[in-house]
Copies of this chain bind each other. A is one copy, B any other.
Amino acid sequence: MEKNNLLENTEKLFEIVAVLASSIGQKSRLKILQLLSQAPRSVENLAELSGESTANTSQHLQRLYKDGLVSVHKDRLSRIYSLRDERIASFIENLLDLAECISTDYLKCSNQITNDEIKNQKSIVEIIKEVKNKKAVLLDVRDEYEAECSPVTGALTIPLKKISSRAKSFSKSKIYYLFCRGRICHTASEGVQILRKLGFKAYRLHESPNTLKHLIKNDPNRSSYV
């Protein structure tokens, strides 16, 4: 009897975890979660950004809600969805890391301007030190709304669109480290291309805003940020 209960519980647990994973395991929903990990958004907004229809997006959001991944609040006519827990964002990053170490070919794609070039020479911690010492600049190239909603202390926010105009005030002696939504987003790569054409030293970081935020926070020498 007791044993049966335990078995049932185990079954239930497997079920719950499987549902959770399969909730994430769908392209449209993954996109939505990726967007929400940057900033809260309305249904219409998410639909537009993910390129799906509104009704479809709404349905996916309802599933994500049911599975406990997102929360909602109302703002006038709209319903604003957000990630229910910050840990979901880091979990998805985790998933990307796993994909990286598992999938053999997927990231070998050609024209990526990443921190791979410098990865083995400089650790992200070193880079943050450089930024702190004003030898380098951390550039957040996401749009203003996202940068505002999940800000990275110590980073300069310059949305991709404005980067070429703002570059006039840049220094050729500094190194520019660009980041966007993280590994799955390529905005920063575009920014790097632009800056390099203009003759600056620019690299892309794969780390997500969230990761960077925490890395900066835990930097023992972070006093100069405050």
Neighbour of A19 across the interface among B25, B85, B96, B190, CB < 8 A = B25
Contact B85–A17 (Cβ < 8 Å): no
Q: In the bound complex, do residue B20 and residue A26 qualify as a contact, i.e. CB atoms below 8 Å apart?
A: no
User: Would you give the shortest CB distance from A76 to chain B, in whole angstroms?
Assistant: 28
Task: Please tell me if the beta carbons of B102 and A10 are within 8 angstroms of each other in the complex.
Answer: no
Interface size on A, residues (CB 8 A): 56
Which B residues lie within 8 Å of A98 (CB)? 20, 87-88, 91
Residues 1-44 of A contacting B (Cβ, < 8 Å) = 2-3, 5-7, 9-10, 12-27, 30-31, 34
Q: B96 contacts A17, CB within 8 Å?
A: yes
Give the distance in Å from the alpha carbon of A98 to the alpha carbon of B20 in the complex: 9
A residues engaging B (CB < 8 A)? 2-3, 5-7, 9-10, 12-27, 30-31, 34, 67-69, 84-85, 87-88, 91, 94-96, 98-99, 101-104, 106-107, 109-112, 183-186, 189-190, 193
Known: A106-B12, A110-B5. A95 touches B17 (CB 8 A): yes
